Structure 1
Amino acid sequence: MNQQPTKTYTVEEAKRKLEAYCAYQDRCHKEVREKLIQMRMIPDAVDAIMYHLLQHKFLDEERFARSFARGKFRHKKWGKNRIKQELKQREIGTYLINKAFTEIPEEEYRNTFDALAQKRFDQLTEKDKYKKRKKLADYLMYRGWPGDWVYEKAKALIP
């Protein structure tokens, strides 16, 4: 068993590496902490580096939550339920989640839902209308759209 020695970092090296990591894209505290632990930093060093990143604006939970919500909505067409679930997994608080939702205009949210539902409906080849309705509803629910909207739209598209 020939094992590679794991790289060790000084606090300064780790700071520079994490600055680049955070500058590349917004990160949440949990991701950064996990990265530092993966780099085998001791708890005191982790705290010092986290503090440094916060002081120098490399880390900002609100900025992360806002860009995460904006990105997942615009690019992946996720609904608010899915975005909220994913942010909670990243240990983002309810207050910041609600602030992040201000990045999604209500009219654009509804229009995106309608367009996504129509696009998925057009892709479905299922002949049985009940199975087709279920497939459409499952798809939209998985993406985190409101249940009442989903069932209303499924019934409207597949009478």
Structure 2
Amino acid sequence: MKSAKENKIALDQKSALLKAEQWCAYQERSQHEMRSKLYEWELKIAEIEEIIAELIANNFLNEERFALSYASGKHHIKKWGKLKIKQGLKLKRVPDKIIQKALSSLDEEIYLKNLTQLFEKKASTITEKNAAKRSYKLLNYLLSKGYEKDLIFLLLKNNELD
């Protein structure tokens, strides 16, 4: 069976642009993701930069639109908190200003509702009798989902688990 390396096809700039447009049309992409994909296709640096510029000019690539989509999707589908979303966007090399705009676009009411739902769901699965250990497990779980400590402590206090 052939490896992924052996199946690589050298693309010229025009066909790479078409393929990149299709890839971006399927789902929002960051410039970093697109650049990585173009490197995978073994294009020259100058060609990559030209393709990126063309994709931005034709509105196939838009960092702000990507960040808003990413934040919304991770929050609504995976129930991630702002800290984890921020970290994910940083890994995609999205600028800080755009990250802040994406995070501020999240509905605060839904954000708190998701946190409460995760808290209740996890609390119902923890069989620990010791209140301190129980709250520690809840704290760690919610921190791993990317929620802020102060919100978690407030939730623990309101549910008398601190």
TM-score range, shorter chain: over 0.9
- Indicate the residue corresponding to 1:18 in structure 2: 20
Q: In structure 2, the residue corresponding to 1:104 is in which secondary structure?
A: coil
Give the Cα separation in 2 of the matches to 1:22 and 1:5: 22
Deviation at 1:96, TM superposition (A): 0.5
- Indicate the residue corresponding to 1:98 in structure 2: 100
Amino acid at match of 2:52: M
Give the Cα separation in 2 of the matches to 1:99 and 1:153: 26
1:49 aligned onto 2:54: no
Pairing 1:8-157 to 2, within 5 Å after superposition: 8-157=10-159
Q: Would you say the 8 A contact 1:28–1:60 is kept in 2?
A: yes
Q: Would you say the 8 A contact 1:133–1:155 is kept in 2?
A: no
Give the TM-score normalised by the residue count of structure 1: 0.92
Identical pairs, percent: 34
Deviating more after overlay: 88-97 vs 60-69:
88-97
Deviation at 1:24, TM superposition (A): 0.7
Q: In structure 2, the residue corresponding to 1:107 is in which secondary structure?
A: helix
Q: In structure 1, the residue corresponding to 2:94 is in which secondary structure?
A: coil
Give the Cα separation in 2 of the matches to 1:34 and 1:56: 19
Give the Cα separation in 2 of the matches to 1:43 and 1:49: 10
Give the TM-score normalised by the residue count of structure 2: 0.90
Gaps of 5+ in 2: none
Deviation at 1:102, TM superposition (A): 3.3
Tell me the alpha carbon deviations over residues 7-34 of structure 1, each in whole angstroms, 9 at most, x when there is no partner: 1001111011111111111000000000
CA RMSD of aligned residues (A): 1.6
Give the Cα separation in 2 of the matches to 1:52 and 1:144: 35
Give the Cα separation in 2 of the matches to 1:155 and 1:110: 15
Gaps of 5+ in 1: none
Deviating more after overlay: 118-127 vs 37-46:
118-127
Report how many residues are paired.
158
